[in-house]
């Protein structure tokens, strides 16, 4: 039978930046009778590329994937070694497919915590793809929201210490954002978490203030473009007022609801 293609949703105002929490890899592996690393490997090799392709088709310009949190460092040594192998393989082979698609790869988080070859590979890949413009795909590696805020404050203090910034100058939100790991990226319009947990776990505490949140019980390795479309359709049905809006909007909504019923 010929392979069925997914009909592309028509989105009047697609999100510019979507951030994902890739949760459920180990549960997926246990469910399929596999080892603790197999879910991560499947997600890296089979799940990411189709989602990036789908995001490009929808005109989404930024995709950020949380691949390893600061809390993940607490896992046992054998599992960490397995994750490091997945990262190495992805940087050597899987991400080349993204490069060929015109993807600009970006890294956020304290990547220098990893064994030295991983940050070296990652930084080389970032440099190699910096002129690509189809979409920017950021991988959050050894990322934690609180640590990011502390890094931002340290960068600010370093600038003051080196007399590159006046201590008396008022600090603005725009300037503080420039010290974050995500400097140069727009705040996410939407954050998707797979795996069923309904929390952000410290993901983008500064950047997520107006992000639309979407939680799904689908485990990350099963998060297909079809599941992605469910999230995008949910986003399209939301009204984003950013604290503004008119009271008349609510009256019209009530009136239209009464007419349709």
The pLDDT assigned to 224 comes to 98
Q: pTM (2 decimals)?
A: 0.90
DSSP string, 17-71: EEEEE---HHHHHHHTT--TTHHHHHIIIIIHHHHHHHHHHTT--EEEEEEEEGG
The pLDDT assigned to 257 comes to 67
Cα–Cα distance for residue pair 123/121, rounded to 1 Å: 6
Which residues are marked as active site? Answer: 23, 72
The pLDDT assigned to 248 comes to 72
CATH number for domain 17-260, candidates 3.40.50.720, 3.40.1180.10, 3.40.190.10, 2.60.40.420: 3.40.1180.10
Question: Which structure tokens are listed for 164?
Answer: 């590159």
The pLDDT assigned to 196 comes to 97
Q: What is the pLDDT along the chain (261 residues), one digit of tens a residue?
A: 455 556 777 777 889 999 999 999 999 999 999 999 999 999 999 999 999 999 999 999 999 999 999 999 999 999 999 999 999 999 988 889 999 999 999 999 999 999 999 999 999 999 999 999 999 999 999 999 999 999 999 999 999 999 999 999 999 999 999 999 999 999 999 999 999 999 999 999 999 999 999 999 999 999 999 999 999 999 999 988 877 767 776 677 777 667 766
The pLDDT assigned to 6 comes to 62
The pLDDT assigned to 245 comes to 67
């Amino acid at each position: 039978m010929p392979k069925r293609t997914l009909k592309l949703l028509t989105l009047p105002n697609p999100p510019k930046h979507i951030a994902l929490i890739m949760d459920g890899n180990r549960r997926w592996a246990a469910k399929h009778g596999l080892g603790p690393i197999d879910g991560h490997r499947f997600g890296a090799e089979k799940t990411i590329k189709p989602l990036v392709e789908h995001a490009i088709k929808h005109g989404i310009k930024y995709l950020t994937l949380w691949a390893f949190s600061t809390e993940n460092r607490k896992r046992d040594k054998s599992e960490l070694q397995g994750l490091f192998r997945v990262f190495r393989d992805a940087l050597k082979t899987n991400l080349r497919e993204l490069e060929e698609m015109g993807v600009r790869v970006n890294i956020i988080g304290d990547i220098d915590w990893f064994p030295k070859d991983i940050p070296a590979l990652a930084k080389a890949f970032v440099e190699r793809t910096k002129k690509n413009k189809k979409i920017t795909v950021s991988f959050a590696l050894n990322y934690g929201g609180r640590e990011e805020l502390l890094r931002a404050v340290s960068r600010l203090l370093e600038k003051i210490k080196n007399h590159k910034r006046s201590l008396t100058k008022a600090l603005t939100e725009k300037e503080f954002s420039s010290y974050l790991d995500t400097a140069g990226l727009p705040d996410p319009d939407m954050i998707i978490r797979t795996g069923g947990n309904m929390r952000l776990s410290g993901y983008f505490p500064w950047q997520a203030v107006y992000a639309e949140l979407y939680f799904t019980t689908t485990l990350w390795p099963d998060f297909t473009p079809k599941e992605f479309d469910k999230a995008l359709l949910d986003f399209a049905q939301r009204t984003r007022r950013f604290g503004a809006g008119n009271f008349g909007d609510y009256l019209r909504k009530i009136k239209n609801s009464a007419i349709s019923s």
